[in-house]
């Protein structure tokens, strides 16, 4: 019996589990150990709770990790709105769970090769909300006249496309230098028409 639910959430969720504490522990484990190093038992130990509590709620580490990294601000209307596209883009990059997200994504994508349900969960709960946040920032910038000739809808999909290519075709890591280059060397200049400072 599958536990995946693509509309958000999983089956078999004990109400007594302290979800916030467990998910925070999972993110800490991801930042420290990466996806390959995380285990449900280690998350329970870090959260100071019983392993059975974690295992009752999440059957696999992929389920736990998707829940831990799901964007807490999925509504595009909550995207940063500082009045400056550069500041908004940098606020997005520094947003909640981003370090753990990038540490986990390569392992999740590799595991999803044999799981259509996990592929859907990654797309719907992790990637697409981030694309929609970026699209909202870029559309507001276009409305303010900051975006020049760039198409905000197309530009919003470029970082996800580059990450996908790097993981699935290039088989290269998502190291900090690559993520910095995508953001500061491509996204910011494309959005503003000038190099990032």
DSSP 76: G
114-162-171 Cα angle (round to 5): 50
The answer to whether residues 165 and 110 belong to one domain is yes
Element holding 73 (H helix, E strand) = none
pLDDT value for 18: 78
- pLDDT tens-place string over residues 74-100: 677 778 888 889 899 888 888 756 778
Do residues 4 and 63 touch, judged by C-beta distance below 8 A? yes
Q: Is 6 within the bounds of a domain?
A: no
Q: Which residue has the tokens 């349900």?
A: 117
Distance from C-alpha of 64 to C-alpha of 131, rounded to nearest angstrom? 22
pLDDT in tens, 11-33: 455 444 478 889 999 999 999 99
Q: Is 98 exposed, middle or buried (0-12, 13-18, 19+ CB in 10 A)?
A: middle
Tell me the average confidence (pLDDT) per consecutive run of 10 residues in the chain, 197 residues long. Answer: 44 58 93 92 92 88 93 72 88 77 89 93 91 92 86 92 88 84 88 69
In a domain, 44, yes or no: yes
Same domain, 113 and 177: yes
Boundaries of domain holding 32? 19-66
Q: Report yes or no on 12 lying in a domain.
A: no
24 and 101 co-located in one domain: no
Question: Which pair of tokens denotes residue 63?
Answer: 């389920």
Decide if 11 is inside a domain: no
Share of the chain above pLDDT 70, in %: 86
The pTM score is: 0.80
How far is 57 from 59, CA to CA, in rounded Å? 7
Q: CATH no. for residue 178? A: 1.10.357.10
């Amino acid at each position: 019996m599958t536990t995946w639910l693509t509309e958000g959430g999983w089956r078999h969720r004990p109400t007594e589990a302290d979800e916030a504490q467990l998910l925070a522990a999972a993110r800490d484990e991801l930042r420290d150990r990466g996806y390959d190093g995380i285990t449900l038992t280690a998350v329970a130990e870090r959260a100071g709770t019983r392993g059975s509590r974690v295992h009752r709620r999440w059957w696999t580490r992929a389920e736990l990790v998707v829940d831990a990294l799901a964007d807490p601000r999925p509504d595009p209307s909550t995207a940063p709105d500082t009045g400056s596209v550069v500041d908004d883009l940098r606020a997005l990059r520094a947003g909640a769970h981003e370090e753990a997200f990038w540490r986990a994504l390569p392992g999740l994508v590799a595991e999803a090769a044999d799981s259509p349900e996990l592929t859907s969960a990654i797309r719907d709960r992790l990637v697409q909300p981030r694309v929609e946040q970026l699209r909202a920032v870029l559309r507001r910038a276009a409305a303010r006249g900051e975006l020049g000739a760039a198409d905000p809808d197309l530009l919003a999909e470029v970082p996800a496309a580059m990450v996908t290519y790097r993981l699935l075709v290039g088989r290269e890591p998502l190291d900090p230098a690559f993520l910095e280059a995508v953001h500061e060397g491509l996204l910011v200049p494309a959005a503003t028409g000038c190099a990032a400072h």
